[in-house]
Chains A and B, each alone.
Chain A
């Protein structure tokens, strides 16, 4: 079932949480709402769920072209998974998962045998079938979150909404659960929206990523697209590390630090200040200068634990830079703290006040 929201506004007192947000999620899609805290992503999710009401004057909330804006959460057929699991701690795992079926009105309530069958199936799906008689406090965080997921799926939701589902877990468990959720989604294909502030999680898990900031959507796109072609300065900044230079465009060239690059498409601009962003892995590190396009810098710190070596450097023009290079290249260059290197940007992203190169 598809989800469509139009022009959603929400204010809490004088704070604007959502400032006219519109979004469409296709049937069977897995979409991430990504943004820093206070960006409105959780509020948007809660409005879609029906846990929060949008301000008057907002557009409709459509599930499969049907306006559900006036319905209570229980009548929207959404499965909601909370960051802190929100399990009923006086109930066993089995009773937790069965809850949504048992509270149905007598007419539509399945028989006990059917409930048992269904819950067993769901527990198998989340790989917790041997834990049915345990209480939530006897489970690990990852297991609890899987119970919460099974419980949400028990009501056969048309839409699955997850509010920072892995936010309270260890890094290692988080990664495992992330892959597992992706596999699960490929199996059951329920339209899903999840909220996260972890860009890695959003990029790895989602079909499409919605980057939000200060109550607005900055960009919507496939992970590849938002990472490699950020629409705004904010998206560039938020999705991974960047090095920032203040520069200017003049006579078809971009000048920053000690280098200049051709920008023929902006030949008409004269003396325009711009911001230049370069990701750490988009520098070529060399021992010798190759003339015009190098930035001379001194290594102040080396961190070689990891697949890549990360260098912290001080450019001769005073910027502090962070650069990533492969281990082999690092060993080849025999770099040490204090060595001087020449950095050649391979790719850069330029943002002016109102345009992007």
Chain B
């Protein structure tokens, strides 16, 4: 019976006030193809002109491997930092009202809006060890930030923060206060209430924010190249390596490195979708 109904629903188009399913679907497909699918597949085509051995040689070159390690490592570290501190920032923004809250809320989006090169140069100027904040860090703690992996991570934290905050915000706003009150009435401590009731409820959103921030950090170029210093094997990120290969007219090798990054991004997106599907299992 249920099967019959489902089948019928699939066969007969559901009535809708706004017509145009066929037209809009066609447009969406064409648009996505032109904008996303064709450029990306040409990337695969380009790298496919390399033999397997050449492909392998390119991506297993020590310099390339080092750049992958750096890119994935720094992106992962930055995403983790963003997950933790993004959660705190979001918590404050959602839970409390204070003077200037709207301004702080608007500030979250600044890393989105600023040209990445501008943020890169600003961060570099701030963190070089010869002056300003960078000098303090160097003098007091012996920390070098600019031109080290730490600097790269800071740049990636900077551009990734809005992803975490903006995905967490609606999830936290959706949480009803009476859930916490009922946990408290059942004798849960404040920490238990957070750990057992609030955290599981926002975990899917947090994971999504983490993955988005990670994916963005993998491909980030503009804000990183200035603070990185770009020493081969040490502070050279994969996107920069691609640029270098292009400048040397090694198009196929550049494409090979790009394919690895692309696959990584694709896996992350897959992960996001699985998380979202999983979290819908107990959506009310």
Contact = CB atoms under 8 A, between A and B. Distances in A.
A104 B187 contact: yes
A70 B283 CA distance: 37
Interface string A43-65: 00000010100000000000000
Contact of A73 (B178, B185, B192, B284): B185
Contact of A136 (B188, B192, B200, B284): B284
B196 interface: yes
Contact of B187 (A82, A90, A103, A135): A103
Contacts of B197: 88
Interface residues of B, number: 21
A100 B188 CA distance: 7
Contacts of B184: 51, 72-74
Interface in A67-85: 72-75, 78-80, 82, 84
By size class, the interface of chain A is 20 to 34
Interface in B154-196: 176, 178-179, 181-189, 192, 196
A84 B176 contact: yes
Contacts of A100: 186-188
A100 B184 CA distance: 9
Nearest to A92: B282
A154 B186 CA distance: 9
B178 A99 contact: no
A18 to B, nearest CB: 19
Contacts of B176: 84, 86
A89 B181 contact: no
A152 B182 CA distance: 9
A305 B2 CA distance: 37
A155 interface: yes
B181 A90 contact: no
B281 interface: yes
Given A74-B186, A100-B186, A135 B181 contact: no
Nearest to A163: B178
Contacts of A137: 282-284
Contacts of B200: 90
Given A74-B187, A99-B196, A86 B181 contact: yes
B201 interface: yes
Given A82-B181, A84-B178, A86-B176, A99 B188 contact: yes
B179 to A, nearest CB: 5
Contacts of A88: 179, 183, 196-197, 201
B282 A152 contact: no
Closest 3 CB pairs of A and B: A100-B186, A86-B178, A86-B182
26 contacts: A51-B181, A51-B185, A72-B184, A73-B184, A73-B185, A74-B189, A82-B182, A84-B176, A84-B178, A86-B181, A89-B282, A89-B283, A90-B200, A90-B282, A99-B183, A99-B196, A100-B186, A100-B187, A103-B187, A103-B192, A137-B283, A137-B284, A151-B182, A151-B186, A152-B185, A155-B186
Interface of B: 176, 178-179, 181-189, 192, 196-197, 200-201, 281-284
